[in-house]
Amino acid sequence: MRRSTSILRKHRAGDKVYLPSDSRDNQYILAEFPLTDELVKSVAGSIDTNLKKPYQRFYQKLASSIFETTEKHGIERANLVANNKLVRVRYGSEQQVLHTEQQSFFFYCPSHNATFKGYFDGAVKARKIKLLFLATGENLRLNSAAFHEKVFGAVKEIASNLGLAADSVKVRDHQHITFDIFAQEKGLKSTITHSFREMADRYAKQGFNIGQDHTSLTYTVVSIPMMRRLLKGTNIDYDSEQPYQALYQKIEDAFKSAVEKNALKHAALLGISASPIVRYNNEDSVNLNGEIVGIGFDPTKEETFVTSMWEGDTLVDTIRFIFFANERDESNNNYGKFANQSIQAVKDFADEVNWKKDHDDIIVRIHQHIMRKV
């Protein structure tokens, strides 16, 4: 018995992930539902399309109703977004929202964010209404289940108040932790420990059972700046139509070698300027749409899916690696082993390209995500 217990403890220890103590946690929840003519009429009555901003009154009344409900549920930070743009959330010490043609970036710091605002153009009827709820506080991971339940309760009431059809509202709970993989080489010796327990299981352990009717994803996004030293030792022919082809091929070869060495079966390399978005999909896919590259992934499939996308005529600012976990990567209800495999793959890649670890950052963001319907 003593020997068996020892083996079990050793196995579980291998699932632990040691991250730099300055790693940053974020949690945000997105609820979205279609903007139908029936909803517009129920909230604001008939619309005079001859007006310069015919939907302005509708958006204002909708936002007022939604914010009143969220406040009633004790939620102090929420945003309504109706601008046909993809919502992205990132850490930022200074609270701000930046918009591109296809994306809205919300930068916030969990320790002091305070926002209650609508983002819309009264002249345009958006395809969807999106509600963004930002978690705040010092212990996001510890309090994540309670925050999820609070938001889910508010969204259920909002859906009921608006007369929305059952299952028409999607609620996506996103959590990620961000860190420099070489913080230790830069002098930061202290660490924190994670096991990356599967979110629904973690919520159940905290007393909130969300049931089985949900989908979940776990994946790692790695951001590697295009440092000039990456170009050194590579023949760059600027007279060629594809001057950076050899550079990207070198990076791709090192990437695939690290992926294979660490037994990662699902991975993507992006050497393009577009921002990746990962979604649950029945078919593995990579689709470029302007400034966004959509990556579909089915965690129930075991077939190997390793792909690369780059253009030899363009030098990007950042190379991105994405590693996806499937169901077989879960052990003891956690993804610690997968997280460690991802981290080691990045370190192996860095060794291959002679990365200056004590000087240059490689930022890793480990995502966990669940989706439910209301």
Residues 276-308: tens digit of each pLDDT: 999 888 888 889 999 999 998 888 888 889 999
DSSP 308: E
Backbone angles phi, psi at 313, to 5 degrees: -100, 0
- Identify the weakest region by mean pLDDT among 106-120, 143-157, 254-268: 106-120
Complete DSSP assignment for 159-214:
HHHHTPPTT--EEEEEEEEEEETTTGGGT---EEEE--B-HHHHHHHTT----S--
How many other C-beta atoms can be found within 10 angstroms of the C-beta atom of residue 343? 21
Nearest 10 degrees: CA dihedral of 105, 110, 112, 113? 30
CA-to-CA separations, 208 to 40, 104, 162, 322, in angstroms, rounded: 34, 31, 26, 30
Q: Is the pLDDT of residue 39 over 70?
A: yes
Helix or strand (DSSP H, E) at 90: strand 86-91
**Max CA separation in the chain (angstroms):** 80
Give residue 49's Cα distance to chain centre: 37
Q: Is the pLDDT of residue 366 over 90?
A: yes
pLDDT band (50, 70, 90) for residue 74? very high
pLDDT band (50, 70, 90) for residue 111? confident
pLDDT band (50, 70, 90) for residue 146? very high
Q: What is the predicted pLDDT for the residue at 138?
A: 81
Buried (b) or exposed (e) across 290-309, using 16+ Cβ within 10 A?
eebbbbebbbeeeeebeebb
Q: Is the pLDDT of residue 331 over 90?
A: no
Amino acid making up residue 209? N
Helices 37-44 and 56-72, packing angle to 10 deg:
80
